[in-house]
Amino acid sequence: MPSFSQKTFTLALITILFPLLLPAQNQSAQHPLDALKTQEYWTVYDVLRDSGKIDKDTVTHSVLLHEPAKDKVLAWKSGDPTFREAEVILLRKGTTIEALVDITGHKLESWKERKDVQAPVVVSEFRELDEAMKKDPRVIEALKKRGITDLNPITCFADPFGYFALPELEGHRIMIANCANTHGAYFSWSREIEGLQIRVDATEKKVLQVIDEGIIPVSQAPVNYQDLETAPRTGTTPIGITQPLGPSFQIKGSEVSWQNWRFRFRLDPRVGAIVNLAGIQAGDRFRSVLYEGSMSELYVPYMDPALNWANRVFIDAGEFYATGHVLKPLRPEIDCPSNSVYFDSLAWEEHGFPVIHSQVACLFESYSGDPAWRHFEEHQLSGSGARVLVLRTAAVIGNYDYVLDWRFERDGNLRVAVGATGIIETKAVKAKNASEGGGHGMAGAPDEFGHFVAENTVGVNHDHFFSYRLDVDRLVKRQLNNPLRKSIWVVEPSIAKTEKDAMMDIHLEKPAMWHFINPNVKGPLGYPTGYELMPGATAASLLDPDDGPQKVGAFSTHQLWVTPYKQDERFASGVYVTQSKGDDGLAGWTKANRPIENTDIVAWYTLGFHHVTRAEDWPVMPVMWHDFVLRPFDFFPQSPVITLPPAP
């Protein structure tokens, strides 16, 4: 990318260079919640190899830390032995195997062969299926009909699908593929061959069926943004964040201390950054806010009934994490400012070996120039500038990039933000544009299910739903309703007693505060200490609850769910999402309507948005941010920022 760079100026601003990488993978685990370390992956590998249960057809699809039960973690003290386990998913000739490995004890704890679930997909499956498809005479013929005889630039990509579609597929590992012609482009996005679908058996590596609905030319929309001439706009002067004395956070192992915040985090290959034991240090006393918080699943259904589109209903984390790591590298200057510290992470490859993924998280202090508080009174001007600690990762699942932030604010707010960017999925159509196609979204028009973003290229309507798992330690939920009473509103505290009480939706005419309190700890004014979950702009799924995809993505039905803590309830759409029937996950668990009052509970927040694409989203969409906040509510005795000096 030729670029008229401002780098010369930008570098000049930085007076102290921060350590760019903090590789801690080789050390042994210091804490029960640390990410799996290099030698631990090798121990898992050795235990499995030596078990006699592995053969050459056994492929490692997942190796994740099996998190200890919460009571064990809370009882653990520095210096205690760290009891470490890994949960492993293997696939052997179509059979999914769950293995639990005791790393500390170097032994296989359990081995379970399952016919009822599908392991997540791995990269070799994509590669092998691509080859198999391009060798199939029916595929070769269909491509030839389109004038394509050079198959080198053709990629046929088999998507797993996250819901159980057709009865005849039961028990088989089925994927639905389409091909793309990457000739002239750096990748296959927007270059897909519409009207041609290939159904494959991923176990047998064979083509089951080729559906050809006729020729639609591949989009030739100019997608190579990498080649665009870049230049700053006229008059642009360099800008930067400076912190000449270095960052003011401390990192010890996986623990971060900053201002009065303290938390741990690890980078999990399936759900990304997991924040643990986050809380406020008040003198000698540590006050817990969140035992654990992480994104737990991502659900992206597309809204086009056409061939190759009706099946695009992604349960992104659960389906695709095994292809490497849900997190991808961050680029300094673009993704994180110059005062950032970066972190590497480990995942596995298909033998189970550890693989380093570099620079997949950054930590930095941000100062955008905003006040933390202020008041003007006659001649008095008081206040303080705001600074924020940001833990940032980017989950990249194929075309989309999700910038995922945990933002620790000095007033006790913990803001979770999702910035969606990346490449939208487009469909080639015969009509050049909306005028030619009689378009504007009318029935039968080429943009009925989307919006032209380039010539012959329609960005297809879709949703994005993120389920955040928020283990608000030892708290119960209290919801504060504000119903109309005559003409004032009053707060009617009500305590959610069961899971169904706690399924909450946002209605402007019936506003509710979602308040998590510790009934056993009272603040100086007699109220239980607590935190509030404050939603930002969000969306609910419009899909029919009986639809296959919606059964798996059912967490998108409500904005808030609350469940009693269970060690193994970690993923909003369940452990195995590929070809799932939706029995595992939030909707399934809460059918029992378990009691949640005076229990250790977990809150699940759904952050979502409907995405109607626009010309501005092409070829890469500008970041669109959504967020929610965990906000102290009677947690502190008074404003925690009132004694900060003016400077941020």
Q: Give, as ranges, the residues between 333 and 372 that touch a copy of itself (CB under 8 A).
A: 333-337, 339-340, 364-372
Going residue by residue from 401 to 420, which x/- string records binding to a copy of itself, judged by CB under 8 A?
Answer: x-x------xxxx-----x-
Cβ proximity to a copy of itself: between 428 and 575 the closer is 428
Q: Which stretch binds a copy of itself (CB under 8 A): 81-89, 167-175, 271-279, 323-331?
A: 323-331
d(CA 403, CA 392): 7
Cβ proximity to a copy of itself: between 223 and 346 the closer is 223
180: left (phi over 0), alpha (psi -120 to 50) or beta: beta
Give kind and range of the element (H or E) at residue 395. strand 388-397
Which strands sit side by side in the sheet containing 58-65, from one edge to the other?
Answer: 58-65, 85-92, 95-102, 107-114
Q: How many CB atoms lie within 10 A of CB 551?
A: 21
**Least distance to a copy of itself from the beta carbon of 304, Å?**
7
What residues numbered 374-393 form the site for a copy of itself, per CB under 8 A? 374-378, 380-387, 390
110: left (phi over 0), alpha (psi -120 to 50) or beta: beta
d(CA 155, CA 180): 5
Beta bridge pairs of residue 176? 159, 199
Candidate residues 171, 184, 217, 232; the one interacting with a copy of itself per rule CB under 8 A: 232
| Catalytic pick among 400, 402, 531, 605 | 400
616 binds a copy of itself (CB under 8 A): yes
Please report how many Cα atoms fall inside a 13 Å half-sphere around the Cα of residue 400, on the Cβ side: 25
Going residue by residue from 523 to 562, which x/- string records binding to a copy of itself, judged by CB under 8 A?
Answer: xxxxx----x-xxxxxxx-xxx--x-xx--------x---
3 binds a copy of itself (CB under 8 A): yes
Cβ proximity to a copy of itself: between 9 and 286 the closer is 9
**Least distance to a copy of itself from the beta carbon of 552, Å?**
13
Handedness of CA 31, 37, 41, 46 (dihedral sign): negative
Give kind and range of the element (H or E) at residue 131. helix 123-135
**Least distance to a copy of itself from the beta carbon of 26, Å?**
25
Binding residues for a copy of itself, how many (CB under 8 A)?
A: 179
What residues numbered 255-284 form the site for a copy of itself, per CB under 8 A? 257-260
Residue of 564, 560, 568 lying closest to 592 (CA atoms): 564
CA distances from 480 to 79, 468, 509 (A): 43, 21, 14
Task: Classify residue 153 as exposed, middle or buried by CB count within 10 Å of its CB (0-12, 13-18, 19+).
Answer: middle
d(CA 120, CA 577): 8
Cβ proximity to a copy of itself: between 26 and 224 the closer is 224
Helices 137-145, 123-135: crossing angle, 10 deg rounding? 70
**Least distance to a copy of itself from the beta carbon of 1, Å?**
7
Candidate residues 35, 196, 198, 394; the one interacting with a copy of itself per rule CB under 8 A: 394
Using an 8 Å Cβ cutoff, are 517 and 529 in contact?
Answer: yes
**Least distance to a copy of itself from the beta carbon of 244, Å?**
7
What amino acid occupies position 515? H
Q: Phi first, then psi: give them for residue 440, nearest 5 degrees.
A: 65, 35
Residue 422: helix, strand or coil by DSSP?
strand
Is 316 one of the catalytic residues?
yes
Strand 272-282 and strand 261-268: the pairing is: antiparallel
Cβ proximity to a copy of itself: between 329 and 564 the closer is 329
d(CA 103, CA 90): 17
What residues numbered 486-515 form the site for a copy of itself, per CB under 8 A? 486-493, 505-509, 511, 513
d(CA 565, CA 302): 32
Candidate residues 79, 137, 147, 244; the one interacting with a copy of itself per rule CB under 8 A: 244
Candidate residues 6, 39, 82, 182; the one interacting with a copy of itself per rule CB under 8 A: 6
Going residue by residue from 301 to 320, which x/- string records binding to a copy of itself, judged by CB under 8 A?
Answer: xxxxx---------------
d(CA 85, CA 103): 5
Using an 8 Å Cβ cutoff, are 272 and 393 in contact?
Answer: yes
Using an 8 Å Cβ cutoff, are 588 and 582 in contact?
Answer: yes
**Least distance to a copy of itself from the beta carbon of 502, Å?**
17
d(CA 208, CA 547): 24
What residues numbered 425-484 form the site for a copy of itself, per CB under 8 A? 433-437, 439-442, 448-449, 451-455, 461, 480, 482-484
**Least distance to a copy of itself from the beta carbon of 432, Å?**
8
Cβ proximity to a copy of itself: between 11 and 75 the closer is 11
243 binds a copy of itself (CB under 8 A): yes
What residues numbered 7-36 form the site for a copy of itself, per CB under 8 A? 7, 9-10, 12-13
Going residue by residue from 190 to 229, which x/- string records binding to a copy of itself, judged by CB under 8 A?
Answer: -----------------------------------xx-xx
Going residue by residue from 128 to 167, which x/- string records binding to a copy of itself, judged by CB under 8 A?
Answer: ----------------------------------------
| Catalytic pick among 316, 401, 463, 473 | 316
Cβ proximity to a copy of itself: between 98 and 617 the closer is 617
Cβ proximity to a copy of itself: between 213 and 370 the closer is 370
Which strands sit side by side in the sheet containing 206-212, from one edge to the other?
Answer: 154-160, 174-181, 196-201, 206-212
d(CA 258, CA 322): 33
**Least distance to a copy of itself from the beta carbon of 481, Å?**
11
**Least distance to a copy of itself from the beta carbon of 233, Å?**
4
Cβ proximity to a copy of itself: between 78 and 647 the closer is 647
d(CA 488, CA 9): 57
331 binds a copy of itself (CB under 8 A): yes
Cβ proximity to a copy of itself: between 33 and 303 the closer is 303
Cβ proximity to a copy of itself: between 128 and 436 the closer is 436
Catalytic site residues?
A: 316, 400
